[in-house]
Amino acid sequence: MSGDAIGVGLIGLGTIGTGVAKVLDGNASVISQRLGFSLRLVRVADLDTKTDRGIDLSGVQFDDDTAGLIADPKVDIVVELIGGYETARRFTLEAIAAGKHVVTANKALLAKHGKEIFEAAAKRGVDVAFEASVGGGIPILRSMREGLAANRIESLHGIMNGTTNYMLTEMESTGEAFEIVLKRAQDLGYAEADPTFDVDGIDAAHKLTLLVAMAYGAELTDDDIPTEGIRGLAPLDFEAAEKFGYRIKLLGIAKRREGPNGEERIEARVHPTMIPRESLLANVDGAMNAIAVHGDAVGPTLFYGAGAGEMPTASAVVADLMEVAREIRRGSAGRVAPLSYMPDHLERKPLVPPGEVHARCYLVFSAADEPGVLGQIASILGENGISIQSVIQQPLEPGARTVPVVVLTHPALEELVRSALAEIDQLSEVLAPTRLVRIEEDL
Ligand code: HSE
């Protein structure tokens, strides 16, 4: 070991913060053997200074004084682990203004305010590192920034939310409805009391925003990404998916496409997706995450691991601390392009409008069980140029007013599908909005 330790200040001693303290302490020797110097937790700030987290903080100043932590000359790197948008934004910008490097796991913060934060950091010559924000413990951002840096990224498909992947796995294996499985996910601590961010796809959209920036140099916020969650899925969809040879996953999808004049356009979206049962992503079950990245030189790659949890997330936070500490020691901090592209090559890029997505579709119509209804549905699809591949009409359940009619289409433009569905949903014999799940086959 040589030289003095690099000092770490931790804001937020919740689950992940506690994991970071454990890794810094428990793995101190391997960390210093790899760095050539040590990383030392010198200060922790949290509003709750009473709860016993089961860790030894002797020698660490622990109070609720965030401003004092940021200003403390012993703190070289500030770790922000409080989550949320506004307070986290303020602490992060204050730390940068004080010349401190920042490590964060906060995808929501970066998907909303990334531009402001990265610009402030570049101006001040400090690092902002955020490996833990996407895929928890999976080193996907470092792989995009370094290991795959020579490639044009053709496509990226990711299971980026463990809560919904657990729920989809359970819905498929038990045949239970969304609400029942959500309750179980909440009881097990996967889903929050307010599950909106996870089940409505918002958390996945935050993560996709960061991946799209790293893959294409595209400056977006999560508001730019068409996002649909898993609330609308019913047990029938999982049975039908199995019959057709698919499984249902909530995917974040990004693709490089060409515009009419050969310009680069980006397709980016989050939605439940049917994917071939034999694909690697289809076999990622439970709360695990996986991201498949296809580079033009490397071909297909797959990154798999725990997307959340105390120790996996702490693993990514401490890896960032080590990288930033090395930069500080080399005197080159602030020179790594955090989003993989140099700041002057980050720009708003044209997105492919959702209507131009071309995919096979799974549709469920809620039709009255009367003569001619199926014919009307088929002819409206046909008039819109949508070709049917398969139809399954389920039996009428006792007491039900409608039968679900399941249609699998050949690949079709989404705007044509949407206009056909608008027409079909107007029919007096169609009693509820039609359900649409897109299918991805080129995984
Ligand atoms: N709630 C997220 C998930 C983890 O279920 O994957 C944090 O992003």
Q: Which residues are catalytic?
A: 207
CA-to-CA distance for 17 and 57, rounded, in angstroms? Answer: 12
Helix or strand holding residue 216 (H, E): helix 202-216
Q: Which residues of the chain have pLDDT under 50?
A: 1-2
Q: What is the pLDDT of residues 346-385, one digit of tens each?
A: 999 999 999 999 999 999 999 998 889 999 999 999 999 9
Q: What is the pLDDT of residues 193-217, one digit of tens each?
A: 999 999 999 999 999 999 999 999 9
CA-to-CA distance for 439 and 248, rounded, in angstroms? Answer: 9
Q: Which domains does the chain have, with CATH numbers?
A: 6-139+311-345 (3.40.50.720), 140-306 (3.30.360.10), 355-439 (3.30.70.260)
pTM, two decimals, is 0.95
Q: 203 CB under 6 A from ligand 1? A: yes
Lateral strand order in the sheet of 388-393: 299-306, 288-295, 153-159, 246-258, 264-276, 430-439, 361-368, 402-409, 388-393
For a pocket test of ligand 1, which of 134, 159, 161, 192 has the largest count of ligand atoms closer than 8 A to its C-beta? 161
pLDDT for 259 equals 82
Distance 346 CA to ligand 1 centre (A): 27
Return the DSSP state at 395.
Answer: P
Q: 252 CB under 6 A from ligand 1? A: no
Residue 161, φ and ψ in degrees, nearest 5: -135, 115
Question: Exposed, middle or buried: residue 32 (CB in 10 Å: 0-12, 13-18, 19+)?
Answer: middle
pLDDT for 261 equals 87
Q: Whose CA is nearest to atom 2 of ligand 1?
A: 161
pLDDT for 3 equals 56
pLDDT for 442 equals 86
For a pocket test of ligand 1, which of 159, 198, 249 has the largest count of ligand atoms closer than 8 A to its C-beta? 198
- Helices and strands in the chain, H and E counts: 14, 17
